[in-house]
Amino acid sequence: MTTTQIEVFVCVAKMKNFTRAGEALGMTQSAVSHAIYNLEGDLNVRLFERTRNGVTLTAIGEVVYVRMRAILNEINMIYSDVSPVKNVPEGILRVGMLPSTAASLMPKVMKLFAQDLPQVTIVLFEGSDDEVKNWIENGIVDVGFVTLPNEHYNTVFILQDELCAILPESHPLANAKHIALKTLQSDSFIMSKGGCEPLIRAAMTKENTVLHIQHEVNNLYTIIEMVKEGVGITLMPSLAFFNLASEGYSVSSLKPPVYRQLALAFKDEMRDHALLALFIQTIKRVALTFE
């Protein structure tokens, strides 16, 4: 069993699809299949059930997944432990972030850097998908969060979250476990302009659905408050409301589900940058706590 096999297994379990896992890891679909085949051979168990729509974990696969995630977390912690502060160069790393990552991942990352690497300064820039890409292109930031697929820059997959329907508690579909996008066409829709609009529009196109966009708002917390007051409904990735109290609104998965793959993107000149490597290690460690 190798570290690569463990990483591939965890990624496939998250993505529920060999091809998407390969895209996230920068591997071919055949390489992913080969890694899983060898891992199942080493363990002498079947970890996944293959279906027309992808793969699902078997009962023993679920058990192994919990262990493998813990192993990856320990590996990331080891890398952090063996990077003594005295050997880490001082410097500034400029990070472009989406609103959902600003509210969830980045506070924990900033805390870890302040504790373990006080000589490193992280400077944050918050913007939409297009703004972050523009900042990367023009050198305003050294690295930024993007949604996969992205073919313009080097990318490192960080995590996957789910696009969810956010409804007022008084809505007829409130507390439904799954909601088809088409059933929301008559509602006043609040479009987030802070980072997830491309994902929402792609979902609309795929489901041949037109949502009634009544408002366009940047701030995620403003959107949530508008939903709570019954002004409208919205769609939002799960990271965006991870730390929010779930009072006054309901959250439902879409049917079929829609997922977002988040990655860090950077240009070629940053590939071997020491601070970037430390940042990627830290963000991966934090990302494991959100699964």
First to last CA, the chain: 23
The residue type at 5? Q
Does residue 86 register a pLDDT over 60? Answer: no
CATH (one of 2.60.200.30, 3.40.190.290, 3.40.50.2300, 3.30.420.40) for 160-259: 3.40.190.290
pLDDT in tens, 120-161: 899 999 988 889 999 999 999 999 999 888 888 999 999 989
Average model confidence (pLDDT) across the chain: 88
Q: What is the pLDDT of residue 82?
A: 64
What pTM did the predictor assign? Answer: 0.72
User: Rounded distance, CA 58 to CA 131, Å?
Assistant: 41
Q: Where are the domains of the chain?
A: 3-81, 86-157+261-290, 160-259
DSSP output for 192-242: E-SS-HHHHHHHHHHTT---EEEEEES-HHHHHHHHHTTS-BEEEEGGGGT
CATH (one of 2.60.40.10, 1.10.10.10, 3.40.50.300, 1.10.730.10) for 3-81: 1.10.10.10
Left, alpha or beta for 56 (phi > 0: left; psi -120 to 50: alpha)? beta
Q: What CATH number is given for 86-157+261-290 in this structure?
A: 3.40.190.10
